[in-house]
Amino acid sequence: MGQKGMSVQRHIVEQERDFPKATGNLTGLLMDLIYAAKIISREVNKAGLVDVLGLTGTENIHGEEVKKLDEYANDRLFKAMDHGGHLCIMASEERDDVIHIPDKFPKGNYVLLFDPLDGSSNIDANVSIGTIFSIHRKKTDGEKGTLEDCLQKGSDQVAAGYIIYGSSTMLVFTTGQGVNGYTLDPSVGEFILSHIDIKTPSKGKIYSANEGNSKFWDEGTRKYIDYLKEKDSNSGRPYSLRYIGSLVADFHRNLLYGGIFLYPADYKNPDKPKGKLRLLYEASPLAFIVEQAGGMATSGKENIMDIVPTELHQKVPLIIGSREDVLTYQKFISENA
Give residues in contact with ligand AHM (CB under 6 A): 118-121, 210, 245-247, 276
Q: Is 16 annotated in some ligand binding site? A: no
> How many degrees, rounded to 5, is the angle at CA 225 between CA 220 and CA 227?
95
Measured torsion, CA atoms of residues 297, 303, 304, 306, in degrees rounded to the nearest 10: 150
Indicate if the alpha-carbon torsion angle 196, 1, 138, 34 is positive or negative.
Answer: positive
Residue 120: contacted member of Mg ion, ligand AHM, none (CB under 5 to 8 Å, by partner type): ligand AHM
Q: Is 18 annotated in some ligand binding site? A: no
Q: Is 117 annotated in some ligand binding site? A: yes
CB of 84 to ligand AHM, least distance (A): 26
Residue 132: contacted member of Mg ion, ligand AHM, none (CB under 5 to 8 Å, by partner type): none
Q: Is 149 annotated in some ligand binding site? A: no
Nearest C-alpha neighbor of 31 from the set 92, 86, 106: 86
Q: Is 121 annotated in some ligand binding site? A: yes
Q: Pick the closer one to ligand AHM by CB: 119 or 317.
A: 119
Which residues within the stretch 88-117 sit at the binding site for Mg ion (CB under 5 A)?
A: 115
CB of 92 to Mg ion, least distance (A): 10
Contact 131, 190 (CB under 8 A): no
Backbone angles phi, psi at 250, to 5 degrees: -65, -40
Which residues within the stretch 112-131 sit at the binding site for Mg ion (CB under 5 A)?
A: 115, 118
Residue 246: contacted member of Mg ion, ligand AHM, none (CB under 5 to 8 Å, by partner type): ligand AHM
CB of 205 to ligand AHM, least distance (A): 20
Residue 240: contacted member of ligand AHM, Mg ion, none (CB under 5 to 8 Å, by partner type): none
Contact 32, 86 (CB under 8 A): yes
> How many degrees, rounded to 5, is the angle at CA 178 between CA 173 and CA 179?
30
Distance CA(68)–CA(40), nearest Å, equals 12
Element spanning 284, H or E: helix 284-292
Residue 245: contacted member of Mg ion, ligand AHM, none (CB under 5 to 8 Å, by partner type): ligand AHM
Residue 276: contacted member of Mg ion, ligand AHM, none (CB under 5 to 8 Å, by partner type): ligand AHM
Contact 253, 119 (CB under 8 A): no
3-state secondary structure of 194: strand
Amino acid letter at 22? Answer: A
Distance CA(300)–CA(265), nearest Å, equals 9
Q: Pick the closer one to ligand AHM by CB: 26 or 132.
A: 132
Distance CA(196)–CA(181), nearest Å, equals 6
Q: Pick the closer one to ligand AHM by CB: 38 or 315.
A: 315
- CA 160 vs. chain centroid, Å, equals 7
Considering CB under 5 A, how many residues would be counted as binding Mg ion? 2
Q: Is 120 annotated in some ligand binding site? A: yes
Q: Pick the closer one to ligand AHM by CB: 8 or 277.
A: 277
Q: Pick the closer one to ligand AHM by CB: 189 or 245.
A: 245
Q: Is 334 annotated in some ligand binding site? A: no
Q: Pick the closer one to ligand AHM by CB: 135 or 209.
A: 209
CB of 297 to ligand AHM, least distance (A): 14
Helix %, strand %, coil % of the chain (to 5)? 35, 25, 40
Q: Pick the closer one to Mg ion by CB: 115 or 149.
A: 115
Q: Is 14 annotated in some ligand binding site? A: no
Distance CA(112)–CA(131), nearest Å, equals 13
Nearest C-alpha neighbor of 243 from the set 98, 119, 103: 119
What is the binding site for Mg ion (CB under 5 A)? 115, 118
Q: Which residues are annotated as a binding site?
A: 93, 115, 117-121, 210, 243, 276, 282
Q: Which residues are annotated as a binding site for Mg(2+)?
A: 93, 115, 117-118, 282
